[in-house]
C-alpha cells in the first residue's frame, strides 16, 4: 500500500509525536453562557464544518458517480490549482506573524511538506496536482484565470492568514485539511475506477489521504491550546471554521456552474 511506504507519513508521524501532547479535556468557560469542554468545542467545530461537507457537493457527487468528462476534470484541475499552489503562501503569511515557537514550527513543517522539502525525493504538492491535470489530458500551464469563486476562496485564505487571529487562521486550516483525507480517498477511488487514471495521476490524492490526517491533528492540538479557557477565542474559531468551510463549498459552486453552463 502506498500509504505505508510513503516516507511523508513517517515524517508526519515523527513530527506529530513531538508536537502533540495528550489531547486535553479542559474547559472553556463562557461567561453567562455555560461551560464547554474542548472536546465539545471540536464537536461543534466539526458540526459547523459538516454543514458544508464537500463530499455532499453536487460536483463531487458527480465525480464519485463517474458523471464527469475528462474535460470537466481538466477544468476543475486548472481552477483548483490556485488553491493548492497558494496554500504554502497562506502558511508563510501566517507563520511570519506567529510568536509561539511550537506553533511556528508546526506551520513551517506543514509548509515544507507542501513544498516537498520534508523528505528527499518528495515533490511539491502543486507539481503532483499538475500531474493530475496532465493525466486527464490537460497541460501544465499555470496562467489560467480561474472562476471568480476560486479567487474569492484564495483571497479569503490570504486574508485570514495575513490578518486573522491565530485561532481564526488555525480554524481555517483545520476546516480545509480535516476534510482533505476523506475527499482525497474518494477522488482517487473515482479516478482509478471510473476515469482510467494511472497511479501518477492519482498521486496527489493518494498522498493526501494520509498527509492531512496529521496536519489537521496538529492544527487541532494547537487550536485546543488557544481556546482553552478563552471563550472569545473559541467563538472566533468556530465562526472562522464555518466560514472557511463555506468558502470552500462556494468555490465548487463556481466550478459546477461553469460545467453546467458548458453542457447546456
Residues forming the site for Fe ion (CB under 5 A): 114, 125
Residue closer to Fe ion (CB basis): 108 or 194: 108
Distance in Å, CB of 114 to Fe ion, minimum: 5
Residue closer to Fe ion (CB basis): 114 or 203: 114
Q: Distance of CA 202 to CAs 81, 134, 160, 185, Å?
A: 15, 11, 30, 10
The 8 Å CB, 24+ separation contacts for 131-135 are 131/200, 131/201, 131/203, 131/204, 132/77, 132/191, 132/197, 132/201, 132/202, 132/203, 132/204, 132/205, 133/74, 133/77, 133/78, 133/81, 134/201, 135/197, 135/198, 135/200, 135/201, 135/202
Distance in Å, CB of 180 to Fe ion, minimum: 7
Residue closer to Fe ion (CB basis): 217 or 236: 217
Distance in Å, CB of 125 to Fe ion, minimum: 4
Distance in Å, CB of 252 to Fe ion, minimum: 18
Helices (H) and strands (E) counted in the chain, each on its own, are 12, 2
Tally Cβ neighbours within 10 Å of residue 66.
10
Residue closer to Fe ion (CB basis): 112 or 134: 112
Distance in Å, CB of 122 to Fe ion, minimum: 11
Residue closer to Fe ion (CB basis): 93 or 114: 114
Amino acid at each position: 500500500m502506498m500509504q505505508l511506504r510513503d516516507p511523508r507519513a513517517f515524517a508526519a508521524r515523527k513530527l506529530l509525536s513531538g508536537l502533540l501532547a495528550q489531547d486535553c479535556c479542559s474547559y472553556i468557560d463562557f461567561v453567562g453562557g455555560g461551560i464547554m469542554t474542548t472536546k465539545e468545542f471540536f464537536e461543534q467545530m466539526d458540526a459547523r464544518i459538516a454543514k458544508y461537507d464537500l463530499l455532499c457537493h453536487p460536483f463531487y457527487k458527480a465525480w464519485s458517480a463517474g458523471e464527469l468528462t475528462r474535460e470537466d476534470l481538466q477544468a476543475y484541475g486548472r481552477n483548483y490549482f490556485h488553491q493548492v499552489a497558494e496554500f504554502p503562501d497562506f502558511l508563510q503569511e501566517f507563520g511570519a506573524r506567529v510568536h509561539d515557537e511550537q506553533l511556528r514550527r508546526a506551520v513551517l513543517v506543514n509548509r515544507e511538506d507542501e513544498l516537498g522539502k520534508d523528505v528527499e525525493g518528495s515533490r511539491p504538492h502543486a507539481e503532483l496536482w499538475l500531474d493530475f491535470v496532465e493525466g486527464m489530458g490537460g497541460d501544465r500551464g499555470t496562467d489560467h484565470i480561474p472562476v471568480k469563486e476560486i479567487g474569492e476562496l484564495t483571497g479569503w485564505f490570504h486574508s485570514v492568514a495575513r490578518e486573522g487571529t491565530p485561532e481564526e487562521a488555525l480554524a481555517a486550516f483545520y476546516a480545509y485539511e480535516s476534510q482533505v483525507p476523506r475527499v482525497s480517498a474518494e477522488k482517487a477511488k473515482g479516478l482509478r475506477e471510473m476515469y482510467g487514471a494511472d497511479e501518477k495521476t492519482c498521486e496527489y490524492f493518494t498522498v493526501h489521504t494520509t498527509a492531512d490526517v496529521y496536519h489537521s491533528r496538529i492544527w487541532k492540538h494547537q487550536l485546543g491550546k488557544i481556546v482553552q479557557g478563552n471563550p472569545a477565542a473559541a467563538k472566533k474559531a468556530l465562526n472562522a471554521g464555518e466560514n472557511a468551510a463555506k468558502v470552500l463549498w462556494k468555490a465548487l459552486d463556481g466550478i459546477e456552474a461553469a460545467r453546467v453552463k458548458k453542457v447546456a
